[in-house]
Amino acid sequence: MVKMDLLKVVRVTSGYGTLTVLNQVSCEVADKSLVAIVGSNGAGKTTLLNTISGILHPYSGKIYFKGKEINGMPPHEIARLGISHVPEGRRIFPNLSVLENLKMGAYLARENMKNGMLKKVFEMFPILKERKNQPARTLSGGEAQMLAIARGLMRGPSLLMLDEPSLGLAPKVVASVYETIEAIKKNGVSILLVEQNVRYALEIADKAYVLENGKIVMQGRGRDLLKNKNIKKHYLSLK
Ligand code: ATP
């Protein structure tokens, strides 16, 4: 069965003022799938997520979410339609408790805590339940990343966009963050992941795109790209 495209980016060109970063980028996220955009430093991965979430408006091209054109909409409206963006660097509030950070995620969605999201999130992240009254600054790097992801889930999105969830984490911790990402997908949330950590991202991606200098240069199933000669050489340091 062919899955419906939840998100469709069509020939998007975007950037900052006169600096064009993305050049005619097209990509899709099928419903209930996990899509990875991989590429090295400065390729334009963050710019792509910022353009989808409305922080940047594309110079040209279209972005559709659930069939509706969203390019040009303000970020809060895009968020309300069901896209949650977990930015690079986590941006949690260090002096607020874990619970307060989570409530901020729901508050912004207005739906608040009524739909039992907090209970679901605590089931998925037991460590956050244990630490719910601690200031967020006392969490380890991995726990802080879990909190940022959990906060993104509080509004019950259909699409969760994750910017470099493995950044600055030890390999063992990255593995557990990635297990959580897979569990979120199993719960029916589609995921768009951008990563420099190509190996992890390709291992779990139903579909992946390689972004180089603002252009998509390759696409395919994650596991197929892992076997690709050019990927091995340029991104996995293998001969
Ligand atoms: P990284 O993993 O290093 O964040 P990336 O693939 O996410 O890389 P982007 O952050 O999208 O890359 O950056 C792409 C280009 O856009 C870079 O050349 C960067 O210097 C530039 N850029 C990023 N943010 C801004 C900004 N706010 N103003 C101007 N240029 C920017």
pLDDT digits (tens, 9 = 90+) for 34-64: 999 999 888 999 999 999 999 999 999 999 9
Query: Two tokens at 82?
Result: 């069901």
Q: What is the structure's pLDDT at 193?
A: 96
- Residue 236 to residue 207: CA distance in whole angstroms: 18
Give the atom of ligand 1 at the shortest distance from the alpha carbon of 40: 6
Please state the domain extents for the chain.
Answer: 5-235
Q: What is the pTM of this model?
A: 0.92
Does residue 108 or residue 91 have the better pLDDT? 91
Does residue 237 or residue 95 have the better pLDDT? 95
Average pLDDT (68-90) is 92
Q: What is the structure's pLDDT at 104?
A: 82
- Of all protein residues, the one whose alpha carbon is nearest to atom 18 of ligand 1 is 42
User: Does the pLDDT at position 91 exceed 90?
Assistant: no
One-letter identity of residue 124: M
Average pLDDT (5-27) is 96
Q: What is the structure's pLDDT at 239?
A: 53
- Residue 162 to residue 141: CA distance in whole angstroms: 16
CB 35 within 8 A of CB 193: yes
Q: What is the structure's pLDDT at 89?
A: 79
User: Does the pLDDT at position 109 exceed 70?
Assistant: no
The pLDDT-based confidence of 4 (bands split at 50, 70, 90) is confident
User: Does the pLDDT at position 1 exceed 60?
Assistant: no
CB 182 within 8 A of CB 162: no
The conformation of residue 87, written as its DSSP 8-state character, comes to -
Most confident range, picked from 88-97, 150-159, 228-237 = 150-159
Could you give phi then psi for residue 141, rounded to 5 degrees? -55, -45
Following DSSP, what letter does each residue of 52-63 receive, concatenated? HTTSS--SEEEE
Give the atom of ligand 1 at the shortest distance from the alpha carbon of 196: 2
Q: Which helix (H) or strand (E) holds 181?
A: helix 171-186
Apex 173 CA angle, 105 and 98, nearest 5: 30
Lowest-confidence range among 1-10, 69-78, 104-113, 117-126? 104-113
- By the 10 Å C-beta count (0-12 exposed, 13-18 middle, 19+ buried), 122 is classed as middle
Query: Is ligand 1 within 6 A of the CB of residue 47?
Result: yes
Average pLDDT (99-119) is 72
Residue with tokens 């395919």: 220
Q: What is the structure's pLDDT at 2?
A: 56
Question: End-to-end distance of the chain based on CA atoms, in angstroms?
Answer: 37
- Of all protein residues, the one whose alpha carbon is nearest to atom 23 of ligand 1 is 47
Domain 5-235 of CATH type 3.40.50.10490:
no
**Mutation pick for ligand 1 pocket among 47, 52, 85, 163 (CB with most ligand atoms within 8 Å):** 47
